[in-house]
């Protein structure tokens, strides 16, 4: 179904309520509906396209109105259903009864824009601390941090889950050996069985979305790279693509292939990291050491190709920053071949080792219907037999020219999610080998002006952890009006509740590893650390002066 047919059918259904619509880019549809009609539009989508999942909800401040953009992927296009509500009375009906997976996104908008969602089962803060003042919404444009910057009180958060006599609340995090980033999980435990879980996000706030509005587009490339250390290539690629769509910039074909190569190297590195961690979580230290040793080879290749082991700084608006020499291309091919053998071995281990099977099979089951309802992405969805690979269904860069398989498993358990990643490793190696051998000649970068024309765009890439979406709005200057990032972990974390119920305490690390959570990505959008507000920037001399005066008193 093309975008035109889609719009025709949509207008037929909801003709009067549609105020405006546009199809600015292939597979991107923006529809503005009257206030109160967003639920009708979304339920039509769900009826027409049963595989519709919600990507995220973007709030945009239009000075007297707040615009809500519901980004939904319906299988043929990324449909943005938008509606506007007055800033003085920002109340709207929740869509969680249609798509339960929207719960966290609505909480995020509630947290940062102050929009109240009627009918939301559990509307409370997602990212800001509990002690944050009630009437301050950092992502609104009229919000200033100087003088209003509230002082945060650090106080222990009360147990959110009610406590029965027969159950015990076990807190995991913010610091815990099974977590590699700060995040807090409250598990309600009956004996050794987990009854419920309440995740608390937001320990790694950096306010990247707010900060992005104060930086120029080309500077923002480096900012979004720092959203996530592991999937940094996905973030830069995604942001650059969004800006290129806005500015109508044609990226040279060589750059597209180079992006694919580095993107896939990044995916291999991320998947190997996760599989190693999986080994560690189930107490298989030897497997962990083996896999991480092989990961070093990938990191060395990354360093040779981009200059950095982890932070690639590779994609930029209009292309990539470095070319790939033919000698390095050969080396990449050769080394990946040797890694492929190792991966085959690890696949055998995961498939046949009796204890790994005992620990992962049937543990953390996420049924296919639940995966759809919760709108999970990436390997988590594919482990539950939901086909969501952005590279296949919404191809970007050079993925439409490169043959590869989309991996799905229908076991729906932790084991399936690990196996998806193992098989994807082999696919990634094949993709890189193909790309290296079919690398087009020509320039690898075009120069682009700093000012980007007015408009908006949605860019999606398949990050190692799943669909990553960037929404970029430009007002015609060199600075973006709004940058919205939805990292894959925020899409997946909601499924933890469904997976963990009925599992043993000992299964918590396994299930968590099978989600491959990356909390720093998830937390990126929140307001800058309070101390960096105007009042609170202290130079080292200020501090010395303070300390000096302190000692005098």
Partner 1 sequence: MILKLGWEVEVSINTLLLFRILIFPGFLFLLLFVMFCDWFERKIMAKMQNRMGPSYTGPFGILQPIADYIKLLTKEDIIPEHAGSFLFSFSPILSFSLFMFSIFFFPIDGVNVFSHEGFEGDLLLILALVTLAHFMLFISGWASSNPYSGIGSVRILIQFIGYDMPLLILSAAPAFIAGSLSLEKIASKQPIYYVFLIPWIFIPFLLTLQAELEEDPFDIPHAETEIVAGYGTEFSGRKFAFVRLSKDLQLVFGAMLAVNLFLGGPYGPVISDPPSLWFTLWFLLKTLFVIFIIEFIEAVCARLRIDHVIRANWRLMIPISILSLALTVLSIPLIKPLMEVIQ
* Interacting residues toward partner 1 by CB under 8 A: 170, 176-178, 192, 279-287, 289-290, 293, 353, 355-356, 358-359, 504-509
State whether residue 484 is helix, strand or coil.
Answer: strand
Closest distance to partner 1 from the beta carbon of 520 (Å):
20
* Closer to partner 1 by Cβ: residue 172 or 461: 172
Residues 392, 138: Cα–Cα separation, whole Å: 37
Instruction: Yes or no: say if 57 and 94 are a contact pair by the CB < 8 Å rule.
Output: no
Closest distance to partner 1 from the beta carbon of 413 (Å):
15
* Closer to partner 1 by Cβ: residue 281 or 389: 281
Q: How far is CA 338 from CA 89, 328, 334, 426, in A?
A: 61, 15, 7, 12
Helix 508-515, helix 253-281: angle, nearest 10? 180
Residues 343, 349: Cα–Cα separation, whole Å: 10
Closest distance to partner 1 from the beta carbon of 177 (Å):
5
* Closer to partner 1 by Cβ: residue 53 or 280: 280
Structure tokens at 251: 């990226």
Whats the size of the chain, residue-wise? 553
Give one word for 467, left, alpha or beta, with left for phi > 0 and alpha for psi -120 to 50.
Answer: beta
Q: How far is CA 199 from CA 125, 145, 164, 188, 484, in A?
A: 12, 28, 19, 11, 22
Helix (H) or strand (E) holding 466: strand 466-474
* Closer to partner 1 by Cβ: residue 209 or 281: 281
Instruction: Yes or no: say if 371 and 380 are a contact pair by the CB < 8 Å rule.
Output: yes
Helix (H) or strand (E) holding 486: strand 480-486
Closest distance to partner 1 from the beta carbon of 324 (Å):
30
Closest distance to partner 1 from the beta carbon of 194 (Å):
12
* Closer to partner 1 by Cβ: residue 311 or 505: 505
* Closer to partner 1 by Cβ: residue 295 or 382: 295
Closest distance to partner 1 from the beta carbon of 167 (Å):
13
Which candidate, 139, 316, 300, 137, places its Cα nearest to that of 223? 316
Closest distance to partner 1 from the beta carbon of 287 (Å):
7
* Closer to partner 1 by Cβ: residue 329 or 505: 505
Using alpha carbons only, what angle is made at residue 179 by residues 175 and 185, rounded to the nearest 5 degrees? 70
* Closer to partner 1 by Cβ: residue 119 or 283: 283
Closest distance to partner 1 from the beta carbon of 532 (Å):
33
The burial class, CB within 10 Å (0-12 / 13-18 / 19+), for 406 is middle
CB proximity list for 151: less than 8 A, separation 6 or greater: 530
Closest distance to partner 1 from the beta carbon of 292 (Å):
10
Closest distance to partner 1 from the beta carbon of 340 (Å):
19
* Closer to partner 1 by Cβ: residue 62 or 358: 358
* Closer to partner 1 by Cβ: residue 208 or 287: 287
Q: Where are the beta strands (DSSP E) in 63-112?
A: 65-73, 78-86, 91-93
């Amino acid at each position: 179904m093309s975008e035109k047919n889609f719009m025709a059918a949509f207008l037929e259904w909801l003709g009067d309520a549609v105020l405006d619509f546009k199809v600015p880019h292939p597979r991107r549809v923006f529809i503005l509906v009257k206030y109160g009609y967003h639920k009708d539009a979304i339920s039509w989508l769900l009826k027409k396209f049963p595989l519709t999942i919600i990507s995220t909800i973007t709030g945009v401040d239009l000075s007297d109105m707040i615009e809500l953009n519901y980004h939904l992927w319906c299988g043929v296009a990324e449909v943005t259903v938008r509606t506007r509500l007055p800033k003085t009375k920002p109340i709207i009906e929740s869509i969680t009864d249609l798509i339960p997976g929207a719960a966290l996104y609505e909480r995020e908008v509630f947290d940062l824009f102050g929009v109240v969602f009627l009918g939301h089962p559990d509307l409370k803060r997602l990212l800001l601390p509990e002690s944050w003042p009630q009437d301050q919404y950092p992502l609104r444009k009229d919000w200033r941090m100087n003088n209003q910057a509230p002082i945060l009180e650090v106080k222990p958060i009360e147990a959110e889950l009610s406590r029965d006599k027969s159950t015990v609340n076990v807190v995991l995090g913010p610091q815990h050996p099974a977590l590699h980033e700060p995040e807090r999980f409250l598990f309600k435990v009956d004996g050794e069985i987990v009854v419920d879980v309440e995740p608390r996000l937001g320990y790694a706030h950096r306010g990247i979305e707010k900060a992005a509005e104060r930086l120029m587009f080309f500077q923002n490339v480096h900012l979004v790279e720092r959203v996530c250390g592991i999937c940094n290539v996905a973030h830069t690629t995604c942001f650059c693509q969004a800006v290129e769509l806005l500015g109508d910039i044609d990226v040279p074909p060589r750059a597209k292939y180079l992006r694919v190569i580095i993107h896939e190297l990044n995916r291999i590195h991320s998947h190997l990291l996760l599989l190693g961690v999986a080994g560690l979580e189930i107490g298989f230290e030897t497997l962990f050491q083996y896999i991480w040793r092989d990961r070093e080879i990938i990191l060395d290749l990354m360093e040779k190709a981009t200059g950095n082991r982890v932070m690639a700084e590779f994609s930029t608006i209009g292309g990539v920053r470095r070319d790939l020499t033919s000698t390095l291309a050969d080396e990449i091919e050769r080394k990946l071949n040797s890694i492929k053998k190792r991966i085959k071995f690890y696949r055998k281990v995961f498939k046949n080792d009796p204890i790994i099977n005992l620990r992962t099979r049937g543990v953390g089951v996420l049924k296919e219907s639940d995966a759809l309802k919760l709108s999970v992405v990436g390997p988590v969805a594919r482990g539950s037999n939901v086909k969501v690979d952005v590279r296949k269904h919404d191809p970007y860069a050079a993925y439409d020219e490169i043959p590869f398989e989309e991996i799905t498993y229908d076991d729906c358990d932790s084991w399936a999610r690990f196996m998806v990643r193992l098989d994807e490793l082999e696919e990634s190696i094949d993709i890189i080998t193909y790309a290296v051998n079919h690398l087009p000649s020509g320039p690898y970068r075009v120069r682009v002006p700093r000012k980007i024309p007015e408009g908006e765009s949605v860019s999606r890439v398949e990050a190692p952890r799943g669909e990553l979406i960037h929404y970029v709005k430009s007002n015609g200057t060199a600075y973006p009006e709004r940058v919205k990032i939805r990292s894959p972990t925020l899409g997946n974390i909601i499924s933890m509740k469904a997976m963990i119920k009925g599992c043993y305490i000992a299964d918590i690390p396994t299930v968590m590893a099978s989600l491959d959570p990356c909390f720093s990505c998830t937390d990126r959008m929140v307001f800058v650390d309070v101390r960096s507000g105007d009042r609170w920037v202290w130079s080292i001399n200020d501090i010395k002066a303070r300390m000096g005066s302190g000692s005098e008193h």
